[in-house]
Amino acid sequence: MRYRTLGGLRVSAVGLGAMPLSIEGRPDEERAVATVHAALDAGVTLLDTADSYHLPGAEPGHNERLVARALAAYGGDTSSVLVATKGGRGRPAGGDWTVNGHPRHLKSAAEASRERLGVEAIGLYQLHKPDPGVPFDESVGALRELLDAGTIRLAGVSNTDADQIRRAHEILGDRLVSVQNRYSPAVRDSEPELRLCEELGLAFLPWSPLGGLARSSLDGPSRTEGEQRFAAFHAVAAERGASPQQVGLAWLLARSPAVVPIPGASRPRTILDSAAAADLLLTEEERVRLDESAEPARAQAVSFGSPGGPEEVPAM
């Protein structure tokens, strides 16, 4: 496993997005815990969760509790593991994803997340999404108060544009350490935000990082129009004896030293496949081929994880 820097901390170059372990189609507890343990065995030290990763209207904080149980049951050393969680979104019974960026809510949500994770202070707490009904400065100000109170150690923002990132950096200074936006071979709208993260020294955590790649890593590219566009990822994978998903993650890592992708997984073999991408170094020729294949395009409705089927949904 190779490593990258996040807020002065050394984290694995590939993290684990734990969302699929708690939402619709989630595995049973045994397989979910085994997936987290497989990630840790592979050297993954960044686990991404959120208080809203649960079934609609049921068990708020399910994913945070699951991550905490998995870490407690792991037989090895977890002292270097950074658990990143988020607040500001909800999943009521209707199934829609709501947004609440009110400072009072964020502070209460952070305290609840801290208790569910069983920690003295949350390693990394992120505003899940700006609330159009609340001034952005007020939401970020709540993160500042949580930092000052010692409830959280580091702060981040998610689903934000460049102006919002600059403003958050002005308010939080070097305690703002990360930006989590959607970014993948299929969806590259956040290219300006990625470059801004490089400029400001922030980690950029792409969610749904495998968008555009086919479900199968064995049968070659799909014949559908959308997936034909990414045939180069399959070609490079075949040449290198890797999966297209590994090539996709390696491509993301090659985009910038600020990138730390967090692919989702709901089975051990998926995260083991993804983690192996950290050691897949692309040649300059391969990078050019993949760049040309992954020209910016309209956001896709669904993205897929590593071998074994869908692992991510656009619900961040």
Q: State the helix-helix crossing angle for 29-41 and 62-73, rounded to 10 degrees.
A: 60
What residues are annotated to the active site?
53
User: Residues 98-126: what's their mean pLDDT?
Assistant: 98
User: Residues 148-164: what's their mean pLDDT?
Assistant: 98
Whole-number pLDDT of residue 47:
98
Gyration radius of the chain's alpha carbons: 18
Q: Which of 162, 167, 159 is nearest to 197 (CA)?
A: 162
pLDDT at 240 over 90: yes
Whole-number pLDDT of residue 296:
57
Quick check: 231 and 299 in contact, CB under 8 A? no
pLDDT band per the 50, 70, 90 thresholds, residue 14: very high
Q: Which of 162, 233, 155, 227 is nearest to 191 (CA)?
A: 162
Residues sharing a CB contact under 8 Å with residue 79, sequence separation 6 or more, in sequence order: none
Burial of 310 (0-12, 13-18, 19+ CB in 10 A): middle
pLDDT, one tens digit per residue, over 162-214 is: 999 999 999 999 999 999 999 999 999 999 999 999 999 999 999 999 988 86
| Of 315 and 249, more confident | 249
Least confident of 8-17, 247-256, 289-298: 289-298
Whole-number pLDDT of residue 293:
84
pLDDT at 306 over 50: no
pLDDT at 294 over 80: no
Whole-number pLDDT of residue 302:
35
